[in-house]
Amino acid sequence: MDKRTRILKEAAKLFAVKGFNETAASEIAQAADTAQGTVFYHFGTKQGILRQIYENMVIDYMEQITIASEIGSTGLDNIRSIMAFHFRYAEENRAEFTVLHRDVPSHLDHDGNRCEIVRRNSEKSVGVIAAAIKRGIEDGSIRHDVNAENSAKILKAMLIGMTRMSNLHKVDFSSVYETCIDFCDNALKSRG
């Protein structure tokens, strides 16, 4: 792992445990086994680190959710795959998700341009889900009366909500992931 990646990983862990405001750049440097100047050389500020954690996470998440949305032979299979991917990804990237849910809104949302980027990225992931729902409507695996865009927003909000509660409020959802997938499956599944 290169220095830049190590700094981001260690910063995410520290931010997740201590919070962005309470984590000093010197702590990040120490955890990453590098000089504090190296941290600032790569990211400029702590805000720069937070911004990079967000950007890396979004790029990777969007690549992975797009791949997940193509797994299976029907649109409903694609939805199941998207949901399973999200839960697995959120667990594997717990520190980063915690930071994104807790610290990004209060530290990056004040920048109007950054708000627009966050909104667009959210719309992209909702678009991937909506496209899978539309495929399901076309192939008959999802009810024809389902509103793809609204249903995609509901699914995305549910995924985000469960991840937020798991990470920020320490609610254990691991035993209900399959139930959640079944619930959505039953809500969308074609009845005929």
pLDDT confidence of residue 110: 57
Query: Residue 165 falls within a domain, yes or no?
Result: yes
Query: Residue 31 falls within a domain, yes or no?
Result: no
Query: Residue 47 falls within a domain, yes or no?
Result: no
Identify whether the C-beta of residue 72 lies closer than 8 Å to the C-beta of residue 81: yes
Domain that holds residue 184: 52-188
pLDDT confidence of residue 184: 93
Alpha carbons 61 and 154: distance in angstroms, whole number: 18
Query: Residue 36 falls within a domain, yes or no?
Result: no
Please tell me whether residue 189 adopts helix, strand or coil conformation.
Answer: strand
Alpha carbons 11 and 7: distance in angstroms, whole number: 6
Identify whether the C-beta of residue 82 lies closer than 8 Å to the C-beta of residue 128: yes
pLDDT confidence of residue 116: 75
Stretch (H or E) spanning 165: helix 148-168
pLDDT confidence of residue 113: 66
Per-residue pLDDT of the chain (192 residues; tens, 9 = 90+): 899 999 999 999 999 999 999 999 999 999 999 999 999 999 999 999 998 998 899 899 999 999 999 999 999 999 999 999 999 999 999 999 888 888 876 665 555 566 677 778 889 999 999 999 999 999 999 999 999 999 999 999 999 999 888 887 777 777 888 889 999 999 999 987
Query: Residue 116 falls within a domain, yes or no?
Result: yes
Q: Which two tokens stand for residue 1?
A: 């792992």
Identify whether the C-beta of residue 69 lies closer than 8 Å to the C-beta of residue 82: yes
Query: Residue 73 falls within a domain, yes or no?
Result: yes
Query: Residue 173 falls within a domain, yes or no?
Result: yes
**How many domains is the chain built from?**
1
pLDDT confidence of residue 112: 59
Alpha carbons 14 and 180: distance in angstroms, whole number: 30
pLDDT confidence of residue 22: 95
Tell me, yes or no, if the pTM score tops 0.75: yes
Query: Residue 175 falls within a domain, yes or no?
Result: yes
CATH number at residue 166: 1.10.357.10
